[in-house]
Amino acid sequence: MTPTQRIASIDITRALTMLLMIFVNDLWSLQNIPRWLEHTAAQEDGMGLADAVFPAFLFIVGMSIPYAISNRIKKGDNTLQLLRHVAERSIALLVMGLFLVNGEYLNEEATGISRGVWNIICCVCFIFIWNQYPAKWPKSAQYILKGTGIAVLLLMAWICRGGDDAQRFSTYWWGILGLIGWAYLASALVYVLGKGKFPVVLTGWIVFSGLSMAAHAHLLPRGTFLSTLLGPLDNGAMPSLVMGGTLVSMIFRSYTAAGKWKSVIPLLLGIAVVLATAGLLTRPIWEISKIRATPSWVLICSAITIGLFVVTYWLGDLRQKAHWFKIIKPAGTDTLLCYLIPYFAYAVLTMTGVFAMEALSGWVGIVKSLLFAVLMIQIAGLLSKAGIRLKL
């Protein structure tokens, strides 16, 4: 069947990745589950399903960059406006990441509120600030809600006390959203300033990958400005994943624009095989580890994500079976909202004492976590239809 010009596969791949992210994030509530589902330990050489989800999401972030920037250029944005958009989006992710991380380390007694309440208040503020309000809403109402969200977050940062020593609002680590923000910032800057030219983006991927390899070879001096700058980027590993996705997206766009809908598949699969082979061959040198963000892990996860994308492209676009994924569609279009919904759910379940019950185990628990992920996505879809849509 002749494919349509509308590309569904990136949204489907993003939706599947978010489904898995919610799923693996819920595994902590279970017991006696297969090890291959979970994260491997910091010093362990290997990876489970959970170790492949976050890099896949970063890769998809990169795949979205050429499409997003192209759409903004079509709307009339110049380079300065594009840079402003990149900066605003990155700052938003960093802010959300930091507040959620401080919730993880919250000293409830010293702060005066529970972790669940903290997360609910913060997520509501995120929605107030970054919601895409309906055009019919008066600007004054939007400004009031955005201003309220900012003011409450500032208050929360002021009263926050974390850890056993009740320290103030702090950067323990940047959180998942924060890491995405830093990686997106570095990669999008390369793409925008490089005018979307393939050689520039390829050079960016080589540089970030090379920095990651140099760091693991102990060739980068510690305690320097460079090491401080590369710290939030995991010494280049995170933007390497994003830029890899950007490169694949550029190749994919070039082929599909030329009408080569089917011939792009063997090319992408070939790239995946090369990356996977490189990751496995270098495993004895660097090992595979998500927590240490090793180069072998980056290469293998990039290959896995390309493989997943090829499958969704073949099904969703070439075979026109995108409707098969309708149940998780909101995870591909309202991804950030899907990520935040579990924070509300966990807060409610904790405050109502549900988590005080004995944890489910085995395949019963696994099915529960999968249904939980689908339910969170459905709730996000309903909220989106009601006018709550987080767009950065």
Q: Give mean pLDDT in consecutive 10-residue pieces for the chain, a chain of 392 residues.
A: 62 96 93 91 93 96 95 94 96 96 94 95 97 90 96 97 90 92 97 96 97 91 76 92 98 92 94 98 96 96 98 94 94 95 94 76 92 97 92 78
Q: How many domains does the chain have?
A: 1
- Helix/strand/coil for 162: strand
Q: Residue 2 falls within a domain, yes or no?
A: no
Distance of CA 177 to the CA centre of its chain: 6
pLDDT, residue 355, reads: 72
pLDDT, residue 6, reads: 55
pLDDT, residue 219, reads: 87
Q: Residue 264 falls within a domain, yes or no?
A: yes
**Are the CB atoms for 320 and 8 separated by under 8 Å?**
no
Structure tokens at 27: 């595994």
pLDDT, residue 356, reads: 61
Beta-bridge mates of residue 89: none
**Are the CB atoms for 390 and 337 separated by under 8 Å?**
yes
**Are the CB atoms for 56 and 238 separated by under 8 Å?**
no
At residue 184's C-alpha, the angle toward residues 182 and 185, to 5°, is 65
Distances (CA, A) of 68 to 65, 77, 90, 246: 5, 12, 14, 11
pLDDT, residue 2, reads: 43
**Count of residues making up the chain:** 392
**Are the CB atoms for 235 and 212 separated by under 8 Å?**
yes
- CA torsion angle 72 76 77 78 (round to 10): 140
Q: Residue 110 falls within a domain, yes or no?
A: no
Determine whether 281 is exposed, middle or buried from the number of CB atoms within 10 Å of its CB (0-12, 13-18, 19+). Answer: exposed
How far is residue 292's CA from residue 234's CA, in Å, rounded to a whole number? 8
Q: Is the whole-model pTM more than 0.85?
A: yes
Structure tokens at 56: 């896949």
Q: Residue 149 falls within a domain, yes or no?
A: no
Of 99, 106, 103, 160, which is closest to residue 126 (Cα–Cα)? Answer: 99
Please give the single-letter amino acid code of residue 151.
A
Structure tokens at 16: 């599947």
Q: Residue 37 falls within a domain, yes or no?
A: yes
Domain that holds residue 295: 9-105+170-385
Q: Residue 213 falls within a domain, yes or no?
A: yes
DSSP 316: I
Q: Residue 158 falls within a domain, yes or no?
A: no
Compute how many other C-beta atoms are within 10 angstroms of the C-beta atom of residue 295.
28
pLDDT, residue 370, reads: 96
How far is residue 119's CA from residue 165's CA, in Å, rounded to a whole number? 21
Q: Residue 258 falls within a domain, yes or no?
A: yes
Helix (H) or strand (E) holding 24: helix 9-25
